[in-house]
Amino acid sequence: MNTPRVLQVHSRREEIPGTFTLQLRAADDQPLPSFVPGQFNMLYSFGAGEVPISFSGSARETDSYTHTVRALGKNTEALQRLLAADDIGVRGPFGRGWPIPELAGKQVLVIAGGLGLAPLRPLIYHLNDNYQQFAGIQLFYGDRHPQQLLYRQELQQWSANMQVNLSVDQAGPDWHGHIGVITSLLNNAVFPLDNTIALVCGPEIMMRFSIQALRAKDLPGEAIYLSMERNMHCAIGHCGHCQWGPTFVCKDGPVFRYADIEKWLYTREL
């Protein structure tokens, strides 16, 4: 959908200060296009412009779109001011999502840092709903402080069908979990090298160190996927802002196989 469609904010929830979740629904009876976990929409705030935001809700919710947003600039701050029943323009879905067909029968490692849990959340819903189809599921999620962890209640619920490993950089005495960077948990992770797929999303420096930890354990680069969300503007590969080596993040990604983009990931200023 390249022409913006006007949807309405059905609900708004504050996750943590400065980060909020919008549930969007159509005002008419026309169905919403389906999406694949890992894809994104362009959200347009009238008078402010549009910004790419990944889906953060279940793909089974066919009557609504859910997006978790962090207010970091003019466009996202305009989205932050939206209230229930306000109009919003939406283009999408766009991009290539997580490789769900390849996950069947595999040990699945889901590795998230900070807001990177949001683009992985639709995938986690799918894994949780179909957990018997996988050899095992491990979630590794870290942030700076316990108060910044997203979806706290759901993290507890997900632990019923998957191993949830949480880590924070700093914490007070009321935190009884792991303290340290997420890679320190990965260093102790146990998984079969010939039957594991890792899915990574978060700040680029966190993703690079996570990949280094996985490769140090000899997990093949073909078994590692990551979501890149840099410099996307038009979502159709026309403006060129997100060109990354020979690829465009908006239409060739945002999910890439690490083995295919290893050279570009470590090239500065690209």
Distance CA 247, CA 138 (A): 30
Distance CA 94, CA 61 (A): 17
Query: What is the number of other CB atoms lying within 10 angstroms of the CB of residue 265?
Result: 17
92 CB-contact burial (10 Å; exposed 0-12 / middle 13-18 / buried 19+): buried
Category of 88 on φ-ψ map: left (φ > 0), alpha (ψ -120 to 50) or beta: beta
Distance CA 24, CA 6 (A): 10
Class of the CATH domain delimited by 5-94? mainly beta
| Global pTM value | 0.95
Give residue limits of the domains in the chain: 5-94, 100-227
* pLDDT tens per residue across all 270 residues of the chain: 577 899 999 999 999 999 999 999 998 878 899 999 999 999 999 888 899 999 999 999 999 999 999 999 899 999 999 999 999 999 999 999 999 999 999 999 999 999 999 999 999 999 999 999 999 999 999 999 999 999 999 999 999 999 999 999 999 888 988 899 888 899 999 999 999 999 999 999 999 999 999 999 999 999 999 999 777 888 888 888 888 888 988 999 999 999 999 988 877 655
CATH number for the domain running over 100-227: 3.40.50.80
